[in-house]
Structure 1
Amino acid sequence: MESMWRKAKLALGLNHCVYAPSTLGDASPSDEPSLRSSRPALASPASSAFSVSRAFSKSGSRSSKKTCSICLAAMKPGHGHALFTAECSHSFHFHCIASSVKHGNHVCPVCRAKWKDIPVLGSLSSEFPHGRARVNPVNLQQDEGNMNILRPLPRAISSNRQHYRMPVFQDLDTSIFDDDEPLDSLSEVAKESPQGCIKTVEIKTFPEFSEIVQSSSEENFTILLHLKAPLAQTLQTSSGCLQDNTSRNSRAPVDLVTVLDVSGSMSGTKLALLKRAMGFVIQNLGPSDRLSVIAFSSTARRLFPLRRMSESGRQQSLQAVNSLISSGGTNIAEGLRKGAKVIEERKQKNPVCSIMLLSDGQDTYTVTPTTGMGQQAQPNYQSLVPPSIRRNSSHQVPVHVFGFGADHDSVSLHSISESSSGTFSFIEVEAAIQDAFAQCIGGLLSVVVQEMRVEVKSVHPGVQLGSITSGSYASRIADDKRSGLIDVGDLYADEERDFLVSVNIPPASQETSLLKIGCIYRDPMTKEAINVDDVEVKISRPFFLTTRVMSIEVDRQKNRLQAAEAMAKARSAAENGDLPQAVSILEDCRRTLSESLSGQSGDRLCMSLNAELTEMQERMANRQRYEASGRAYVLSGLSSHSWQRATARGDSTDSSSLVQAYQTPSMVDMLQRSQTMSPLTQHPTRRIRHAKSFPARPHPR
Structure 2
Amino acid sequence: MADSDSDRDGEGGQPMPPAEPAEPPEQPSCLVPELLCEYLKIPKSPTEVTLMLKVRAVAQATEDRRAPITICAVIDRSGSMKKHLPLLKETLQFMVQQLRSSDKLGVVTFDHEVKTELPLTAMTTSGKLLAERAIDGVKERGHTNLSGGLLAALEALYRIPENEASQVESVLLFTDGKANVGIKAQAPLVKATSSMLDQIGRQANVFTFGYGGEHDADLLRAVSEAGHGLFYYIDNADSIPESFCDCLGGLLSVSAQNVRLLFRAAERMKLHKPLTTYSTTEMEQHTEYQVTIPDIYCEEEKCILVKVTTPGRDSMSESENLALSSCTVTYFDVLNSCPVQHRVECSVVLNPAISCPVTSDCVDDVEQHRLRCEVAEALGKANKMADSGNFAGARGLLQGTVKRVRGSRVSRQVLAVHLLETLQESLEGIQDKVTFAQHGKAVILSYAGSHWQQRSNTKPSQEGYVRRRTEMAPTGLLSAKSAASSAPSSTNSYSPYRNSHKTTLLSHYAATKK
How far does the alpha carbon of each residue in 1:206-251 deviate from its partner, in whole angstroms, 9 at most, with x for none? 21211012x31213x210110011313x54xxxxxx5xxxx2xx11
Would the alpha carbon gap of residues 276 and 572 (structure 1) be closer, same or farther in structure 2, given more than 3 Å must change?
same
Using the TM superposition, give the Cα deviation of residue 286 of structure 1 relative to its aligned residue in structure 2, in angstroms: 1.5
SS of 2:181's equivalent in the other structure is coil
* Alignment partner of 2:375 out of 555, 563, 583: 563
Using the TM superposition, give the Cα deviation of residue 340 of structure 1 relative to its aligned residue in structure 2, in angstroms: 1.1
Would the alpha carbon gap of residues 469 and 196 (structure 1) be closer, same or farther in structure 2, given more than 3 Å must change?
farther
Matching residue of 1:361: 177
The answer to whether 1:338 aligns with 2:148 is no
Using the TM superposition, give the Cα deviation of residue 658 of structure 1 relative to its aligned residue in structure 2, in angstroms: 6.3
Using the TM superposition, give the Cα deviation of residue 504 of structure 1 relative to its aligned residue in structure 2, in angstroms: 1.3
SS of 1:663's equivalent in the other structure is coil
Bigger helix fraction: 2
Q: Distance in 1 between matches of 2:350 and 2:199?
A: 43
How far does the alpha carbon of each residue in 1:248-304 deviate from its partner, in whole angstroms, 9 at most, with x for none? xx111001111011111122x421111101111101112211101111111111112
The answer to whether 1:222 aligns with 2:50 is yes
SS of 2:284's equivalent in the other structure is coil
Contact 1:477 1:484 in 2 (8 A): yes
The answer to whether 1:664 aligns with 2:481 is no
Matching residue of 2:273: 467
Using the TM superposition, give the Cα deviation of residue 381 of structure 1 relative to its aligned residue in structure 2, in angstroms: 5.4
Contact 2:53 2:304 in 1 (8 A): yes
Letter of the aligned partner of 1:425 in structure 2?
Y
Contact 2:30 2:335 in 1 (8 A): no
SS of 1:531's equivalent in the other structure is strand
The answer to whether 1:448 aligns with 2:255 is yes
* Alignment partner of 2:443 out of 611, 618, 633: 633
Contact 1:388 1:396 in 2 (8 A): no
The answer to whether 1:314 aligns with 2:128 is yes
Q: Distance in 2 between matches of 1:429 and 1:311?
A: 33
SS of 2:389's equivalent in the other structure is coil
Using the TM superposition, give the Cα deviation of residue 196 of structure 1 relative to its aligned residue in structure 2, in angstroms: 9.8
Contact 2:54 2:301 in 1 (8 A): yes
Matching residue of 2:512: 677
Q: Which has the higher contact order (CA 8 A, sep 6+)?
A: 2
Would the alpha carbon gap of residues 457 and 676 (structure 1) be closer, same or farther in structure 2, given more than 3 Å must change?
same
Q: Distance in 2 between matches of 1:201 and 1:265?
A: 44
Q: Distance in 2 between matches of 1:412 and 1:495?
A: 27
Length-normalised TM-score, structure 1: 0.62
Q: Distance in 2 between matches of 1:408 and 1:227?
A: 35
The answer to whether 1:406 aligns with 2:213 is yes
Q: Distance in 2 between matches of 1:300 and 1:436?
A: 25
Using the TM superposition, give the Cα deviation of residue 495 of structure 1 relative to its aligned residue in structure 2, in angstroms: 1.2
Using the TM superposition, give the Cα deviation of residue 424 of structure 1 relative to its aligned residue in structure 2, in angstroms: 0.1
How far does the alpha carbon of each residue in 1:410-442 deviate from its partner, in whole angstroms, 9 at most, with x for none? 111111111111100000111321221111111
Q: Structure 2: any 5+ residue segments left out of the alignment?
A: 1-22, 466-486
Contact 2:493 2:503 in 1 (8 A): no
Q: Distance in 1 between matches of 2:305 and 2:427?
A: 28
Q: Distance in 1 between matches of 2:263 and 2:174?
A: 38
Using the TM superposition, give the Cα deviation of residue 324 of structure 1 relative to its aligned residue in structure 2, in angstroms: 1.2
* Alignment partner of 2:81 out of 266, 276, 286: 266
Contact 2:261 2:329 in 1 (8 A): yes
* Alignment partner of 1:255 out of 63, 66, 70: 70
The answer to whether 1:290 aligns with 2:124 is no
Contact 1:391 1:420 in 2 (8 A): no
How far does the alpha carbon of each residue in 1:23-51 deviate from its partner, in whole angstroms, 9 at most, with x for none? xxxxxxxxxxxxxxxxxxxxxxxxxxxxx
Using the TM superposition, give the Cα deviation of residue 320 of structure 1 relative to its aligned residue in structure 2, in angstroms: 1.3
User: Which structure 2 residues correspond to residues 368-447 of structure 1 after superposition, within 5 A?
Assistant: 380=187, 382=189, 385-390=192-197, 394-395=201-202, 397-447=204-254
Q: Distance in 2 between matches of 1:258 and 1:672?
A: 22
Would the alpha carbon gap of residues 503 and 392 (structure 1) be closer, same or farther in structure 2, given more than 3 Å must change?
farther
% identity of equivalent residues: 25
Contact 2:27 2:336 in 1 (8 A): no
Q: Distance in 2 between matches of 1:217 and 1:525?
A: 44
Letter of the aligned partner of 2:152 in structure 1?
K
SS of 1:457's equivalent in the other structure is strand
Bigger strand fraction: 2
Would the alpha carbon gap of residues 195 and 349 (structure 1) be closer, same or farther in structure 2, given more than 3 Å must change?
farther
SS of 1:312's equivalent in the other structure is helix
Matching residue of 2:483: none
User: Which structure 2 residues correspond to residues 319-330 of structure 1 after superposition, within 5 A?
Assistant: 319-330=133-144
Contact 2:208 2:223 in 1 (8 A): yes
How far does the alpha carbon of each residue in 1:462-518 deviate from its partner, in whole angstroms, 9 at most, with x for none? 112122112x21112333432221111211111110101111112354211111222
Matching residue of 2:7: none
SS of 2:39's equivalent in the other structure is coil
Using the TM superposition, give the Cα deviation of residue 639 of structure 1 relative to its aligned residue in structure 2, in angstroms: 1.5
Q: Distance in 2 between matches of 1:665 and 1:655?
A: 15
Would the alpha carbon gap of residues 259 and 385 (structure 1) be closer, same or farther in structure 2, given more than 3 Å must change?
farther
Contact 2:278 2:293 in 1 (8 A): yes
Would the alpha carbon gap of residues 565 and 480 (structure 1) be closer, same or farther in structure 2, given more than 3 Å must change?
closer
Matching residue of 2:117: 303
Using the TM superposition, give the Cα deviation of residue 368 of structure 1 relative to its aligned residue in structure 2, in angstroms: 5.0
Q: Distance in 1 between matches of 2:260 and 2:213?
A: 38
Q: Distance in 2 between matches of 1:543 and 1:392?
A: 56
Using the TM superposition, give the Cα deviation of residue 677 of structure 1 relative to its aligned residue in structure 2, in angstroms: 2.1
Using the TM superposition, give the Cα deviation of residue 673 of structure 1 relative to its aligned residue in structure 2, in angstroms: 1.7
Letter of the aligned partner of 1:582 in structure 2?
A
Contact 1:360 1:404 in 2 (8 A): yes
Using the TM superposition, give the Cα deviation of residue 609 of structure 1 relative to its aligned residue in structure 2, in angstroms: 1.3
The answer to whether 1:515 aligns with 2:325 is yes
SS of 1:328's equivalent in the other structure is coil
The answer to whether 1:589 aligns with 2:387 is no
Length-normalised TM-score, structure 2: 0.84
The answer to whether 1:572 aligns with 2:384 is yes
Q: Distance in 1 between matches of 2:437 and 2:259?
A: 38
Would the alpha carbon gap of residues 315 and 658 (structure 1) be closer, same or farther in structure 2, given more than 3 Å must change?
closer
Using the TM superposition, give the Cα deviation of residue 396 of structure 1 relative to its aligned residue in structure 2, in angstroms: 5.5
The answer to whether 1:538 aligns with 2:347 is yes
Letter of the aligned partner of 1:331 in structure 2?
N
Q: Distance in 2 between matches of 1:295 and 1:366?
A: 14
Contact 2:190 2:223 in 1 (8 A): no
Please report the RMSD computed on the Cα atoms of aligned residues, expressed in angstroms: 2.3
Using the TM superposition, give the Cα deviation of residue 323 of structure 1 relative to its aligned residue in structure 2, in angstroms: 1.2
Matching residue of 2:470: none
Using the TM superposition, give the Cα deviation of residue 388 of structure 1 relative to its aligned residue in structure 2, in angstroms: 3.5
Letter of the aligned partner of 2:488 in structure 1?
S
Using the TM superposition, give the Cα deviation of residue 523 of structure 1 relative to its aligned residue in structure 2, in angstroms: 2.2
